[in-house]
A and B are shown apart, each in its own frame.
Chain A
Amino acid sequence: MAQTTASFLGQIHELLARKRYSVTDVDENVLRIQEVESGISLRAVLEGDIVYFSLVCATVPEARITPALLRKMLAADNGLATSYFRLHKTNDGQVAITLNNFCKLQELGPDDEDDILSCVSFLLADVLHARDLIGADLQ
């Protein structure tokens, strides 16, 4: 790849900021992206030519992760087609339920820009559906 991670990340930052997202550099290859109206935030991690997006739906005690909840999260017909759930352990012993997707970049042309914006839009749309799907189980 001709371009460096830093230059790619800078371009992604600029692209998202241009689309009125609030973007913060968290790490040398991690961005925090916030949708300013709703306050929903997600993270983008760039590794080589892969940009991985992750959005925390909720952080809950491990006991809340029941088989019934998992079935809903994994069901093929749960309505989430553009993102997928993952569970991450947090430092305080809880479980972060996340929605994720990713795209593979080429030379950051218009196709890549479209992919990046689509990934972010999909997550922001899917989180609404995810709340309808599992929100009640987490209360």
Chain B
Amino acid sequence: MSFFSDLFNRTGRVARGQANQAVSAMEDATFEATVRQTIADMKTELNKVVQSSAMAMSNYNRLDAEYQKYVRQSAEWKDRAGLALDAGNEDLAKKALAKKAESDKQVASLQAAVESARQASESLKNQVAELKHKIEEGERTATTLVARKNAAMAQRKVSEALAGVGKADNAFAALSHFEETVAKEEATAKAFDQLASTGKDAGLEAEFAQLQGHTVDAELEALKRERLGPARQGVTIDLPKELPSATSTK
């Protein structure tokens, strides 16, 4: 690809111009400038070709106009010769045909030059189109090339930076540590939750204890009554000797 050969030729020229510097450093510093300059050079060349093409087209147009003029004149003299013959004036017809012959001679002499100018003009037009295409391609390639070079440089710097990487930058370890921290926080939160629940249970227990307390008191009172018994309480209960017989109350 001519773009690349242009580019690397230019790089070589710049390198020779800065031979006292380290080549790699020089390449880094001038790479983008070199690529851009190559494109600029191609555009300058394009302008020159466009100018040449414009001149060639102008030349062709001028010659072609001249050629077309003689072609028209030849046709006109032929028509006139015909008119003269129709009018029965053979001498006039001969003079007209002589003029036509002069025009034809000019046509013949110009024909080669016109064709040559047309070819030159077409060739330059094609050159302009080709150069424009090359420049477009070159600009795209240059952009990609500069981006690739920058990405490569960035990767190199990352490699340099990572050469001395410490454990602090280990993401898997950081994730594990983070998960441990989260697990601890969750455990702490659970503990707080349990403590809070314990507080609530204590109240509940106290209520039950109070209820239980009532039961004990009641049981104590019942036991006291049982221990005292009816006789010990000084109460005489008259129990019947016999059970009364069943009677109808109808």
Residue contact B162 to A56, C-beta cutoff 8 Å: yes
Given A88-B162, A128-B175, also A30-B170 (CB < 8 A): no
Residue contact A46 to B178, C-beta cutoff 8 Å: no
Given A47-B157, A49-B147, also A38-B173 (CB < 8 A): no
Q: Which residues of B contact A98 (CB under 8 A)?
A: 158, 162
Residue contact B162 to A104, C-beta cutoff 8 Å: no
Q: Which residues of A contact B163 (CB under 8 A)?
A: 88-91
Residue contact A88 to B171, C-beta cutoff 8 Å: no
Considering residues A30, A52, A91, A131, which has the most beta carbons from chain B within 10 angstroms of its beta carbon? A52
30 residue pairs from A and B, CB less than 8 Å apart: A30-B161, A38-B175, A39-B174, A40-B174, A40-B178, A41-B171, A45-B157, A45-B158, A47-B150, A47-B157, A48-B150, A49-B150, A50-B151, A52-B158, A56-B169, A58-B171, A58-B173, A59-B170, A86-B155, A88-B159, A90-B162, A90-B163, A91-B163, A91-B164, A96-B162, A96-B165, A104-B147, A127-B175, A131-B175, A135-B172
CB distance from B1 to the nearest CB of A (A): 23
Considering residues A30, A42, A47, which has the most beta carbons from chain B within 10 angstroms of its beta carbon? A47
Q: Which residues of B contact A127 (CB under 8 A)?
A: 171-172, 175
* CB-CB nearest in chain A for B28: A47
With an 8 A cutoff between CB atoms, is B154 at the interface? Answer: yes
Residue contact B147 to A50, C-beta cutoff 8 Å: yes
Q: Which residues of A contact B146 (CB under 8 A)?
A: 48-49
CB distance from B143 to the nearest CB of A (A): 9
Residues 12-52 of chain A: 1 if any B CB is under 8 Å from the residue's CB, otherwise 0? 00000000000000110110000001111111011111111
With an 8 A cutoff between CB atoms, is A57 at the interface? Answer: yes
Residues on B lying within 8 angstroms of A by beta carbon are 32, 146-147, 149-151, 153-155, 157-159, 161-165, 167-175, 177-178
Residue contact A38 to B174, C-beta cutoff 8 Å: yes
With an 8 A cutoff between CB atoms, is A74 at the interface? Answer: no
Residue contact B171 to A40, C-beta cutoff 8 Å: yes
List 14 additional A-B contacts (Cβ < 8 Å) besides A40-B175, A50-B154: A30-B161, A38-B178, A43-B158, A47-B151, A49-B147, A52-B155, A52-B158, A54-B158, A55-B171, A57-B172, A58-B173, A88-B163, A102-B154, A131-B175
Report the interface size for chain A: residues with CB under 8 A from the other chain. 41
CB distance from B188 to the nearest CB of A (A): 17
* CB-CB nearest in chain B for A88: B162
* CB-CB nearest in chain A for B158: A54
CB distance from A30 to the nearest CB of B (A): 6
Report the separation of the CA atoms of residues A57 and B162 in the bound assembly, to the nearest whole angstrom: 12
Pick the residue among A41, A100, A104, A138 that contacts B172 (CB under 8 A): A138
Given A38-B175, A91-B163, also A45-B169 (CB < 8 A): no
CB distance from A53 to the nearest CB of B (A): 9
Residue contact A52 to B164, C-beta cutoff 8 Å: no
CB distance from B175 to the nearest CB of A (A): 6
Q: 3 smallest A-B Cβ distances: which pairs?
A: A52-B154, A48-B150, A47-B154
Report the separation of the CA atoms of residues A47 and B169 in the bound assembly, to the nearest whole angstrom: 22
Q: Which residues of A contact B162 (CB under 8 A)?
A: 43, 54, 56, 88, 90, 96, 98
